[in-house]
Amino acid sequence: MIKIAVLVSGNGSNLQALIDADLSGKIVGVLSNKPEAYALTRAQQAKIATAVIEHKQYPSREAFDEVMHQQLLDWEADLIVLAGFMRILSKKFVKAWEGKMLNIHPSLLPHYKGMHTHQRVLNTGDILHGCTVHYVTAELDAGQALAQGVLRVSHQDNATTLAERVHKLEHLIYPQVVEWICSGTLQPADTGVYYHGKLMHEPVQFCKF
Ligand code: GAR
C-alpha cells in the first residue's frame, strides 16, 4: 500500500478531500510549516500523525528542507502530496522526491504560475479557468501536468467566487489523481493534457494522460 505524506500550510480543504476519499493508499502523516494551520486539526480529527516544522526556525531553505526530508523518511512516505504548501522547495529536496511529489495549483498551467491566479484571470478577461495537478520539479509550477479541472468564468465572478469554484474542482481532481497513483493506473510516460467533456458545465470532466 502506497504511504502518502501531505504537506500543508493553511486551511487544508484539499487534505480533507483526500481524507474523505476512499483511497487505496494510506495517509501516514501531515506536515505543516505553520503551527496555526487548520489542516493540522483536520489531520488530528482523522487520527493521522502530524508534524510541525517551522521554516522560520531554520537558517536556510536547505536546512529546513533537510528536517522535512527526515520526517518524510521516518514516515516511510512513498508519495508526497503538496496541498496548499506555500514554500518554495530547494533543488536538493525536489531531486530527492522527483517523480514522487505532486502539487495542485489554482490555474490552468502553464498559465498563471505563482500567486493571485484568480484575480489575474479576471484582469485578463479569460473565459476559462481551473486547476492543475502536476509533478513537482525544480522550476516553480512547471512539472508535468497529470490532470486539469476546467470551469467557465462568469460575468458575475470575482476573485472570491472563482476561488470557491476552483476549490470544488480541486477537491474532485486531486483525490482522483492520487488514487490513480495509488492504484498504479497512471502512465507517467504519457504527455499532453486533454480536456474532455463539456466545458460549459460544472462539475467539469477531467482526464489523465
Ligand atoms: C489551493 O487552492 C491550492 O491550489 C493552492 O492553495 C490552496 C490551498 O487550499 N495552492 C497553491 O497556490 C500552490 N501554488 P486548502 O488549504 O484549502 O487545500
User: In sequence order, what DSSP letters do the residues of 178-199 get, joined into one string?
Assistant: HHHHHTT---TT-------S-T
Tens-level pLDDT at each residue, the chain (209 residues): 999 999 999 999 999 999 999 899 999 999 999 999 999 999 999 999 999 999 999 999 999 999 999 999 999 999 999 999 999 999 999 999 999 999 999 999 999 999 999 999 999 999 999 999 999 999 999 998 888 888 989 999 999 999 999 999 999 889 988 998 898 877 544 434 433 333 323 334 454 44
Instruction: Return the residue whose CA atom lies nearest to atom 14 of ligand 1.
Output: 105
Ligand 1 centroid to Cα of residue 209, in Å, is: 23
In terms of domains, do 72 and 10 share one?
Answer: yes
Ligand 1 centroid to Cα of residue 11, in Å, is: 9
- Give the range of the structural domain holding residue 18, as residue numbers without chain letter: 1-97
pLDDT value, residue 187? 55
**Separation CA 61–CA 59 (nearest Å):** 7
Burial of 189 from C-beta contacts in 10 A (0-12 / 13-18 / 19+): exposed
Any idea of the CA torsion for 33, 132, 134, 4, to the nearest 10 degrees? 50
Other residues' Cβ atoms within 10 Å of the Cβ of residue 83: 25
pLDDT in tens, 26-82: 999 999 999 999 999 999 999 999 999 999 999 999 999 999 999 999 999 999 999
In terms of domains, do 113 and 179 share one?
Answer: yes
User: In sequence order, what DSSP letters do the residues of 124-153 get, joined into one string?
Assistant: HT-SEEEEEEEE--SSTT-SPEEEEEEEEP
In terms of domains, do 196 and 141 share one?
Answer: yes
Ligand 1 atom nearest the C-alpha of 117 is 12
Ligand 1 centroid to Cα of residue 13, in Å, is: 8
In terms of domains, do 209 and 111 share one?
Answer: yes
Burial of 158 from C-beta contacts in 10 A (0-12 / 13-18 / 19+): exposed
- Residue 70: give its domain's CATH number: 3.40.50.170
Number of domains in the chain: 2
Contact between residue 105 and residue 28 where contact means Cβ atoms under 8 Å apart: no
The binding-site residues of ligand 1, defined as CB within 6 angstroms of any ligand atom, are: 10-14, 83-84, 104-106, 131, 167, 170
Chain mean pLDDT for the chain: 89
Q: How far is CA 162 from CA 68, 103, 168, in A?
A: 32, 19, 10
* Last-in-domain residue among 51, 71, 97: 97
Ligand 1 atom nearest the C-alpha of 115 is 12
201 is catalytic: no
